[in-house]
């Protein structure tokens, strides 16, 4: 068996872009269909000293899955769902399986794969593991890491290793970061090893879920409501999402968004699992919402309706990506932020972020996302390279303040290449040295995903 390293320009061009707006043309492309072929690529890369950057579906917003150095390794061909253990609630999948397909397969067995990136129809399990992807429902269920039980990894030296989570309830052996080596690979953005197989844990599928869209006259009222919803004991949402007036404007134009009211300037979208009776769930919400919103809410009941809500939610990043793409020739693009703060600081953080863009004369950004986790996405459109550099200045200023509020510069999309310069804002020299030491140990030739994170 000899796997081809493709260098035809049109093939290489089909892998030069992800969702970051950046383009990097790889020198070679490899499209393995088996673990053995991945090993072969890694061995050849090692002997020819060629870097290897993994790609799933290339929905990364940080240029993590594109490269102009060496081999772009597409893992899409490893797309088998090999085993579902209904009683043990696990599923084994190849890295190239789409997240939504894992969810659909699990659902046929009455089970739920909980991580739910908005991009689930266009992103793979390998990418979700490598970025520790999360989503709206991470508010209740947690991020991908929690659901990874075992990984098969092709290491930088071509060895194949299996890592299994020990799930010990007690353990005092050695440094905590070495307890579960599996955790080194989750969120490592392809820099420490190539995931070729994963065993994921599943939850029981909720029998019914209700979605509620609540509308507010101002951003301040909507954000106050987010904090109240998080702290109230009578409601137990699985997500608390916020949409500002511009995000709502985009959502209204999506095929499923025409019922969103015109007079709202902010929307909070929540979902809750129905434990006993849908009416009881709705009554609790009605009582809690009380007079805090004067606009009639929308109720999303049943799978089809919930899908509609996901569609208008997804239209926001998708539209912003498309708008950013229009300015590529002039050196512009969409600039997306992924910062998060402790949830009570969210209103303050958003007000500061808006003030910084106003002061720099930048057009109002679109703000939407995982408010329940203190994690909004703030998206700008840079129309040319000059505007891009002004916006990046605003983002950096915002990130400094986010950190002073106890936040993080990247809560779910990772660092990739375009956020690398912000890593030292958050991590001190010792933390970066520790990460560099792990990288050196696992990938001494620095072959894997050069430019990502470090």
Ligand X SMILES: Cc1cc2nc3c(=O)[nH]c(=O)nc-3n(C[C@H](O)[C@H](O)[C@H](O)COP(=O)(O)OP(=O)(O)OC[C@H]3O[C@@H](n4cnc5c(N)ncnc54)[C@H](O)[C@@H]3O)c2cc1C
Chain position whose Cβ is nearest to ligand X:
127
Minimal distance in Å, beta carbon 128 to ligand X?
A: 4
Q: Is the CB of 195 or the CB of 260 nearer to ligand X?
A: 195
Part in contact with ligand X (CB under 6 A); list of ranges 173-181, 187-195, 207-215, 431-439: 187-195
> Can you tell me which of 194, 246, 353, 382 binds ligand X, judged by CB under 6 A?
194
Among 21, 26, 32, 56, interactor with ligand X by CB under 6 A: 56
Which residues 215-274 are close enough to bind ligand X by CB under 6 A? none
Taking the complex as a whole, how short is the minimal distance between the CB of residue 124 and ligand X, in angstroms? 3
To ligand X, the closest distance from the beta carbon of 342 in angstroms equals 19
- CA-based nearest residue to 246, from 376, 89, 420, 421: 376
Count of residues touching ligand X (by CB under 6 A) = 39
Q: Does 336 bind ligand X (CB under 6 A)?
A: no
The pair phi, psi for residue 411, each rounded to 5°, is: -100, -25
Give the orientation angle of helix 385-404 with respect to helix 346-359, to 10 degrees: 150
Helices 278-289 and 219-231, axial angle in degrees (round to 10): 130
Site for ligand X in 434-453 (CB under 6 A): 449, 452
Question: Site for ligand X (CB under 6 A): which residue of 30, 50, 55, 350?
Answer: 55
Minimal distance in Å, beta carbon 275 to ligand X?
Answer: 26
Complex with ligand X: residue 332 or 414, whichever CB lies closer:
414
- Give the bridge partners for 271, in sequence order: 211, 239
Pairing of strands 239-243, 266-273: antiparallel
Taking the complex as a whole, the smallest distance from the CB of residue 242 to ligand X amounts, in Å, to 14
Which of these segments, 125-133, 229-237, 287-295, 304-312, binds ligand X (CB under 6 A)? 125-133
Rounded Cα distance, 291 and 207, in Å:
30
Q: Are 328 and 387 in contact (CB under 8 A)?
A: no
Residue 128 is a binding residue for ligand X (CB under 6 A): yes
Q: Return d(Cα 298, Cα 286) in angstroms, integer.
A: 12
Q: Between 135 and 332, whose beta carbon lies closer to ligand X?
A: 135
State both tokens at 192. 């420490």
Distance CA 283, CA 287 (A): 6
Residues in CB range of 251: below 8 A, 6 or more apart: 243, 257, 260, 267, 312, 313, 315, 316
Is residue 57 involved in binding ligand X (CB under 6 A)? yes
Cβ atoms 340, 353 nearer than 8 A? no
Nearer to ligand X (CB atom), residue 318 or residue 438: 318
Out of 26, 51, 117, 372, the only residue in the binding site for ligand X (CB under 6 A) is: 117
Spatial distance between the Cα atoms of 229 and 330, rounded to a whole number of angstroms: 43
Nearer to ligand X, 53 or 281 (CB): 53
| Distance between CA atoms of residues 352 and 349, nearest Å | 5
- What is the DSSP secondary-structure string of 187-202? TSTTSS-EEEEEEEE-
Q: Which stretch binds ligand X (CB under 6 A): 52-60, 165-173, 201-209, 250-258?
A: 52-60
Binding string, 16-35, against ligand X, x = CB under 6 A? --xx----------------
Q: Single out the segment in contact with ligand X by CB under 6 A; choices: 58-66, 222-230, 239-247, 397-405.
A: 58-66
Q: How far is the CB of 154 from ligand X (least distance, A)?
A: 8
Six-digit token pair at 59?
């929905």
Q: To the nearest 5 percent, what fractions of the chain are helix, strand and coil?
A: 35, 20, 40
End-to-end Cα separation, the chain, in angstroms: 34
Q: Which residues bind ligand X (CB under 6 A)?
A: 18-19, 53-61, 64-65, 75, 95, 117-119, 123-124, 126-128, 130-131, 133-135, 189-190, 194-195, 317-318, 321, 412-413, 449, 452
């Amino acid at each position: 068996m000899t796997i081809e390293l493709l260098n035809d320009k049109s093939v290489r061009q089909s892998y030069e872009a992800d969702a970051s707006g950046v383009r990097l043309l790889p020198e070679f492309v490899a499209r393995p269909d088996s673990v053995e072929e991945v090993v072969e690529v890694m061995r050849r890369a090692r002997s020819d000293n060629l870097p290897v950057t993994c790609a799933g579906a290339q929905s990364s917003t940080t240029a993590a899955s594109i490269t102009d150095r060496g081999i772009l390794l597409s893992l899409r061909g490893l797309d088998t769902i090999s085993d579902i253990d209904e009683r043990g609630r696990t599923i084994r999948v190849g890295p190239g399986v789409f997240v939504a397909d894992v969810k659909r397969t699990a659902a046929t067995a009455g089970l739920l794969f909980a991580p739910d990136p908005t991009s689930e129809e266009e992103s793979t399990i390998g990418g979700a593991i490598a970025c520790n992807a999360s989503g709206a429902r991470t508010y209740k269920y947690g991020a991908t890491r929690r659901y990874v039980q075992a990984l098969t990894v092709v290491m930088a030296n071509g060895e194949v290793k299996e890592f299994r989570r020990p799930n010990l309830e007690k353990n005092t052996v050695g440094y905590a970061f070495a307890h579960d080596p599996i955790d080194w690979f989750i969120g490592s953005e392809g820099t420490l090893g190539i995931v070729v197989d994963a065993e994921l844990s599943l939850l029981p599928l909720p029998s019914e879920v209700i979605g509620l869209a609540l509308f507010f006259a101002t951003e301040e009222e909507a954000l106050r409501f987010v904090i109240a919803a998080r702290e109230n004991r009578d409601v137990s949402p699985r997500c608390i999402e916020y949409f500002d007036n511009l995000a709502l404007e985009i959502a209204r134009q999506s095929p499923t968004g025409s019922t969103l009211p015109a007079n709202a300037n902010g929307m909070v979208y929540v979902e809750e699992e129905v434990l006993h009776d849908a009416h009881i769930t709705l009554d609790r919400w009605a009582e809690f919402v009380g007079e805090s919103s004067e606009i009639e809410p929308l109720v999303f009941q049943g799978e089809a309706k919930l899908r509609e809500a996901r569609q208008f939610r997804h239209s926001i990043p998708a539209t912003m990506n498309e708008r950013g793409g229009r300015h590529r020739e002039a050196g512009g693009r969409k600039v997306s932020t992924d910062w998060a703060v402790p949830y009570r600081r969210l209103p303050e953080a958003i007000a500061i972020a808006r003030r910084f863009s106003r002061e720099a004369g930048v057009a109002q950004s679109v703000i939407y996302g995982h408010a329940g986790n203190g994690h909004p996405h703030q998206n700008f459109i840079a129309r040319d390279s000059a505007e891009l550099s002004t916006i990046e200045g605003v983002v950096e200023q915002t990130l400094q303040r986010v950190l002073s509020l106890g936040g993080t510069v990247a809560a779910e999309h990772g660092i990739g290449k375009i956020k690398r310069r912000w890593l030292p804002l958050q991590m001190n020299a010792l933390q970066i040295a520790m990460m560099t030491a792990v990288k050196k140990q696992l990938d001494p030739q620095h072959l894997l995903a050069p430019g990502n994170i470090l």
